[in-house]
Amino acid sequence: MDGLGPPSAALAAVLPDPASKGVLDKVRVLDMSRLVAGNMLSLQLADFGADVIKVESPKAGDTLRHWKEALEHGGGLDAWWRTYARNKRSLAIELRDAGARSALRTLLESAHVLIESFRPGTLEAMGFSPEDLHMLNPRLVIVRISGWGQTGPYKNLPGFGSLVEGFSGYAHKHMAPEGVPQLPNMALADMIAGLTGAFATLAALREVEVNGGAGQVVDLSLLEPMLAVMGTDVSVYAATGEKKDPARKIASPRNAYRCKDGRWVALSGSTDVMARRVMEAIGRPELADDPRFSTNEARLENDAELDGMIADAVKEMSQDECLALFRRKGVTLGPVYDAPQLLADQHVVRRQCYIALDSDDGAVVMHNVTPRLSRTPGAIRRPAPGLGQHTGELLREAGVDEAEIQAMRARGAIR
């Protein structure tokens, strides 16, 4: 990777394929959300063929448009928007304008899904309460994203992902050695909520399309999907009254270890068989029969000693030497990568985990469509839209006449 500017020449260059059809073809989604969770949710649907319409403010658009990475020679790379808004169309419409709201209502009559992330009660104040929407379109699935949910004492509190990552126990569970809670350096709660929301949306659509049921509201908080992936700490406390030490591992041996070339490897020996292989790889096969290390429970009690022996062995090897040895012994150990190493890895390149999506604005490297379906795979049909790029097109599809479109544009109700 040294000397190669992004996108890497090793990555597959992909052009959008407007003619491709996905398994969700003909599913229409109106996405009124902002930032990460809603865009992650609608991305999953869009990648598999849904017609996702981003409903945005004509003045500034989705806030995600403005999350840019500073470039060395000036300017900013809007990689967030170009990745998580791919396969979508943009409708820039001023919802404070009565005519614009009427046009949106017309679009909602034929929609299958509405996604919103306003503070609870805002949708109702705009005249789009779930009750009104279901009178307009009884089959509509309404996904309501918020920090804390549509009910409960905290429903009106600000609900950014960082607050949820602290509240959920994540930051405490990932305490730094000096005792400082650690927030993830990524939009973790939003991403997990987006993936959870995509599943919930498809479940609600199945109720309508397969079971003949009616539309419903999906109450998607950022909090509860985080709680679902946090493991059993709360269960253990409820049963025993004991809080787990944040530094205590779930299995031993398990850690990241520094090699002599400064690179790192990650190891997980969570079964007794695997732990035995680790001990053989570091030249200490007799440890497998030592009562202090023969079971996971015993290893956890004596983890510091075992961890130190592994660290001492690994630091004598380069990363390549370590990988070769431990893989030869059948140990579940792998490299710890940064971005350049990840993009250069032969497995990532061969499977096209990342692609360079080309467009009129140039190529941007982004993750490929995931997961992989054998018969009806997803595809990238269009790059992320410009603000209001499809407004006229969508309003004409909704039956709005040209004179009204021009009138709305003249008064700033659309872009």
- The string of pLDDT tens digits covering residues 187-232 is 999 999 999 999 999 999 999 999 999 999 999 999 999 999 999 9
Query: Token pair of 190, please?
Result: 């939003």
pLDDT in the model for residue 89: 98
pTM, two decimals, is 0.93
Contacts 24+ apart (CB under 8 A), 65-70: 65/387
Q: What are the structure tokens assigned to 20, written together?
A: 């491709």
- pLDDT (0 to 100) of residue 341: 93
Tokens 């053989």 label which residue? 280
User: Is 190 considered catalytic here?
Assistant: yes
Provide the pLDDT for residue 176: 85
Write down the pLDDT at residue 360.
83
Other Cβ atoms less than 10 A from the Cβ of 290: the count is 14
**pLDDT the model gives residue 76:** 85
Indicate the DSSP class of residue 287: G
Burial class (CB in 10 A: 0-12, 13-18, 19+), 306: buried
By C-alpha distance, which of 87, 110, 81, 232 is closest to 169?
232
pLDDT on residue 9: 62
Measured distance CA(403)–CA(174) in Å, rounded: 58
Given 3-state DSSP classes, what are the helix, strand and coil percentages for the chain, each rounded to the nearest 5?
40, 15, 45
**254-258 sheet: strands from edge to edge:** 254-258, 264-268, 333-336
| Domains delineated in the chain | 16-232+371-411 (3.40.50.10540), 254-344 (3.30.1540.10)
Length of the chain in residues, anyone?
A: 415
pLDDT at 363: 87
User: Tell me, what DSSP letter sits at residue 120?
Assistant: T
Residues of the chain with pLDDT under 70: 1-10
Task: Name the catalytic one among 31, 190, 303, 307.
Answer: 190
* Phi, psi (degrees; rounded to nearest 5) at 299: -65, -35
pLDDT for res 5: 47
C-alpha pair distances (Å), 162 with each of 44, 99, 165, 184, 265:
23, 37, 5, 8, 28
| Radius of gyration of the CA atoms of the chain, in A | 25
